Amino acid sequence: MATATRQEPPSPNTDFWFDDGSIVLVVEDTAFRIHQSILDKHSDVFADPSTAPQSRKDADSIEGCPVVHLNDSLADFTDVMKALYEPFHFDKLSSEADLSTLISFVAGILRISTKYKLHRLRQKCIAVLQTKFPSTLEGCDALLASGYKYVSSTIVRAIPLARETNVSELLPWAFYISANISTDALLENPILSWRDKALCIAGKNQLWEMQKSMTHRFLFDFSKALTCQHACQSRLPQSMNWRRAEELRASPHPLHLFEDWDSLKVCAKCLELVQLQHQKGREQLWKSLPSVFHLGSWDEIQKDQNR
């Protein structure tokens, strides 16, 4: 007669095993004895009896506390416990931290806080990531002015994380900067879905067209001002040669803030006109950036993200 194998009790996480804790959460055979009141305060899921994870009927209590088994990553859940119980947990992040460090720090907290509706923790994670993925043109300009250099392998980590946690505000800029990744590298990438690879590649071509026709048109198809004081139109074609155009086509950057106005060598009236066209073009492109990658509008993104 076969005997039943006795299941080993979960190992306590000594950092989060409180003598006055009122509930035991088990994640990957590790037990956390924490406070139900803390969970209820931060999590809409745990606070609502109709959605809160329940104890198994066959599970014994531990030290008088109900035991709830959660199907989550131990590393992710441990990060959330640190964020809940250590008041200055986010202060560990340096203001100079690169994107890879930011993603590694907040990814687990963002996943768990999204799943269990820990709204304040979720918003904190989003705010951290938005320092590298702006959702306003002003934020974009501040980031460009900082001279921050992205690493392609980190960009492609951000896209599936944003998809998984429904933080769509990060996606327009993430897709935008993916235009600097070569097509071959995008196709070979094992992290991105095929849908997102297609959006990156199609978006790259559309950004190039928008750079030529909207934000930097004066470099490709210059039209002088009606009040032009000189023969400006005959001078400007020298400002863009085929080699530079090919470089931009391979890695378009229509939101680049053009500043080398002296190189155009045009009169004051024409300069005023092209500067206005450049400013309006960048504003128009930013407004339509989500639609370039089939994400709807900025308003639709924000509504979906906050529902």
What pLDDT, on a 0 to 100 scale, did the predictor assign at position 238?
A: 55
What pLDDT, on a 0 to 100 scale, did the predictor assign at position 24?
A: 95
Q: Which residue has the higher pLDDT, 245 or 283?
A: 283
Rounded mean pLDDT of 228-248? Answer: 70
pLDDT at 215 over 90: yes
- Least confident range from 159-168, 233-242, 272-281: namely 233-242
- Least confident range from 46-60, 111-125, 145-159: namely 46-60
Rounded mean pLDDT of 230-238? Answer: 64
What pLDDT, on a 0 to 100 scale, did the predictor assign at position 19?
A: 95
pLDDT at 202 over 90: yes
Give SS3 for 32: strand
CA dist., res. 152 & res. 182, Å (int): 10
Residues in Cβ contact with 282 at an 8 Å cutoff, skipping those fewer than 6 apart:
137, 215, 254, 255, 257
Rounded mean pLDDT of 80-97? Answer: 94
pLDDT at 101 over 80: yes
pLDDT band at 232 (very low <50, low <70, confident <90, very high): confident
pLDDT in tens, 31-66: 999 999 999 999 999 988 888 888 766 567 888 899
Whole-model pTM above 0.75?
yes
pLDDT at 293 over 80: yes
Token match 């406070």: residue?
Answer: 35
Rounded mean pLDDT of 8-23? Answer: 93
What pLDDT, on a 0 to 100 scale, did the predictor assign at position 242?
A: 67
Contacts 24+ apart (CB under 8 A), 189-197: 189/156, 191/156, 191/157, 191/159, 191/160, 192/156, 192/159, 192/160, 193/160, 193/163, 196/159, 196/160, 196/163
What pLDDT, on a 0 to 100 scale, did the predictor assign at position 2?
A: 47
pLDDT at 235 over 70: no
Q: Which residue has the higher pLDDT, 94 or 250?
A: 94
pLDDT at 7 over 70: no
pLDDT at 25 over 60: yes
Rounded mean pLDDT of 5-32? Answer: 90
What pLDDT, on a 0 to 100 scale, did the predictor assign at position 95?
A: 85
